[in-house]
Structure 1
Amino acid sequence: MRKACKHNFPSMIFLFILLMLWQLGAMEVNAAYILPTPVQIIKKLWELRVALLTVHLPATMLVTAVGLLISLILGLGLAILMDARPFCQKALYPIVVASQTIPTTAIAPLFVLWFGYGIWSKVLVTVLITFFPITITVYDGLKSAKVEMTELLMTYGATKRDLFFKIKVPCTLPYFFSAVKMAIPMSIIGAAIGEWLGAQSGLGYFSRRMMTQLDGAGVFAPIVLLSAVAMLAVFAITMLEKKVVRWRGEV
């Protein structure tokens, strides 16, 4: 615990300085409906804790979890397929890249029209944002397997299954965890965007509702809560990575 605190001490100091500058700047502007102070946001979080933690946060986390799960399945499947079949790589890679040129805020209202205000319109926005980094990063991990190691195992009669699980999977694990750490914040952002554009619950919906009431602290409170959840999730994945990928950093 002491080692973790010492490691994160510079970032904590930098964050404290940013919060102080924010506090002073917001006090100078003196317009809470535009730029609330961190203290006002914390007070608003406490006032709205019941609604945020029992209604809107679970709704957003459900969308995030479902969208991230689908993105993982889709991303891993596409990456393995492109690695195994060069023809599929040539056919699918440009489409995967082109999918990221679609403006999310432009297509999200269409998802609402097609699927209504239920969970699936938000899930599709989340998948559209998150499956790309998973696919590309895992594909790069599969391609990082050393050719000489593969050839050595083939000389001993290794099958394609052996090569995949003995060489490619260990080489890809660090890339996979990096992809997940990138995808978690992006999935939360996707869920919030979907809720902002059309929903009946969720932190994105709540933030938009507070904006219509010119409640600056109420707009920022769900955003701060989302950031905290994203940081905790990434921290948990980092701890899991250290347990699973023990060989990372070794020569």
Structure 2
Amino acid sequence: MKRINPAIISITIFFGFWELLGRYINKGYILPTPLNIIKKIWFLKESIFITHLPTTLSIAVISLIITIILGILLASSMDFNRTIYNFIHPIIVTSQTIPITALAPIFILWFGYSIWSKVIVSVIISFFPVTITLYNGLQNIQRDEFNYFKSLGASRTQIFFKLKVPRALPNFFSALKMSIPLVLIGSAIGEWLGSTSGLGYFSKRMMSQLDGAGVFAPIVIISLLAIILVQIVTILENIILSWRNK
């Protein structure tokens, strides 16, 4: 409760200020109040939760799986060989300097309005922190530990799986918690740039109607979904890595 109470107080102050500011401006298409957003979500609940939310979730889940697999492969490869690191790392960094809005139309041209154009956008946004965080975790071993394993005759594979992987598990969960909001954001961006369904598409449609509450409604849902999923991962992390507290 000592940890929860400050969060409740800060959230209450934030939304209270938002409500008062929205009422003061009194222009819903510019800044809708939280109460109006909640009313809009309830009024359009069937369209949002039955039609658009499943589309965004399916894109996010596929993107998250690909992001994790790609991040593990790239991080392991860079850890395995310095030459591979020197070859891959600049490409990974460069991929984050290209505006995703410039690439999205190309992906739509290649894959049309199918789910894969949105998945690629989401993966490009989310794989970088997973790869780098996991790589840093694999590198986070003491020289004495490495020498001890070598003195016992451990092979390179045994060192990787019995020393480096356990050391990198906290980083893996940190990367997972970072990637969840990113894949949700990437899914929404992909839908915004070109889609016929999904929360991003819904927000874009509401914007064309100057419906501020409708624009904010998917944002609120995505934020709440990200918070819930991150908390689930945190619970799993505490269970799996319970040895940290001993």
TM above 0.5 = yes
| CA distance in structure 2 between the aligned counterparts of 1:94 and 1:244, rounded to whole angstroms | 33
Verify: 1:54 aligned to 2:54, yes or no.
no
Partner of 2:241: 245
User: What are the ranges of 5 or more consecutive residues in structure 1 without an aligned counterpart?
Assistant: none
Segments of 4+ moved more than 2 angstroms: 247-250
**Residues 192-250 of structure 1: CA deviation (Å, up to 9, x unaligned):** 00000100110000000001111111111111001000000000000000011123366
**Residues 159-218 of structure 1: CA deviation (Å, up to 9, x unaligned):** 222211211011000000000101110110000000001001100000000011111111
Partner amino acid for 2:211? D
- Cα deviation for residue 134 of structure 1 reads 0.7
| CA distance in structure 1 between the aligned counterparts of 2:110 and 2:101, rounded to whole angstroms | 15
| CA distance in structure 1 between the aligned counterparts of 2:44 and 2:231, rounded to whole angstroms | 26
| CA distance in structure 2 between the aligned counterparts of 1:101 and 1:79, rounded to whole angstroms | 20
Partner of 1:196: 192
| CA distance in structure 1 between the aligned counterparts of 2:234 and 2:157, rounded to whole angstroms | 28
| CA distance in structure 2 between the aligned counterparts of 1:171 and 1:45, rounded to whole angstroms | 43
Please tell me whether the aligned partners of residues 174 and 248 of structure 1 are also in contact (alpha carbons under 8 angstroms).
Answer: no
Partner of 1:152: 148
| CA distance in structure 2 between the aligned counterparts of 1:241 and 1:76, rounded to whole angstroms | 17
| CA distance in structure 2 between the aligned counterparts of 1:117 and 1:84, rounded to whole angstroms | 38
Matches within 5 A, 1:164-183: 164-183=160-179
Deviates more, 1:6-15 or 1:131-140: 6-15
Please tell me whether the aligned partners of residues 195 and 203 of structure 1 are also in contact (alpha carbons under 8 angstroms).
Answer: yes
- Cα deviation for residue 69 of structure 1 reads 0.7
**Residues 139-159 of structure 1: CA deviation (Å, up to 9, x unaligned):** 000000222112112111112
Partner of 2:85: 89
Partner amino acid for 1:248? R
- SS of equivalent residue, structure 1 residue 6: coil
Distance 1:81 1:222, change over 3 A: same
| CA distance in structure 1 between the aligned counterparts of 2:142 and 2:52, rounded to whole angstroms | 47
Total equivalences in the alignment:
246
> Aligned Cα RMSD in Å?
1.0
Matches within 5 A, 1:1-251: 5-248=1-244
| CA distance in structure 1 between the aligned counterparts of 2:213 and 2:138, rounded to whole angstroms | 45
Partner amino acid for 2:187? A
| CA distance in structure 2 between the aligned counterparts of 1:247 and 1:164, rounded to whole angstroms | 20
Partner amino acid for 1:208? K
Please tell me whether the aligned partners of residues 122 and 190 of structure 1 are also in contact (alpha carbons under 8 angstroms).
Answer: yes
Q: Equivalent pairs: percent with the same residue? A: 50
Please tell me whether the aligned partners of residues 59 and 202 of structure 1 are also in contact (alpha carbons under 8 angstroms).
Answer: yes
Q: TM-score, normalized by length of structure 1?
A: 0.96
Please tell me whether the aligned partners of residues 188 and 226 of structure 1 are also in contact (alpha carbons under 8 angstroms).
Answer: yes
| CA distance in structure 2 between the aligned counterparts of 1:146 and 1:167, rounded to whole angstroms | 10
| CA distance in structure 1 between the aligned counterparts of 2:81 and 2:239, rounded to whole angstroms | 32
| CA distance in structure 2 between the aligned counterparts of 1:134 and 1:248, rounded to whole angstroms | 22
| CA distance in structure 2 between the aligned counterparts of 1:25 and 1:106, rounded to whole angstroms | 35
Please tell me whether the aligned partners of residues 55 and 202 of structure 1 are also in contact (alpha carbons under 8 angstroms).
Answer: yes
Deviates more, 1:94-103 or 1:104-113: 104-113
Please tell me whether the aligned partners of residues 56 and 202 of structure 1 are also in contact (alpha carbons under 8 angstroms).
Answer: yes
- SS of equivalent residue, structure 2 residue 15: helix
**Residues 99-137 of structure 1: CA deviation (Å, up to 9, x unaligned):** 100101221122111111110000000010111001100
Please tell me whether the aligned partners of residues 78 and 135 of structure 1 are also in contact (alpha carbons under 8 angstroms).
Answer: yes
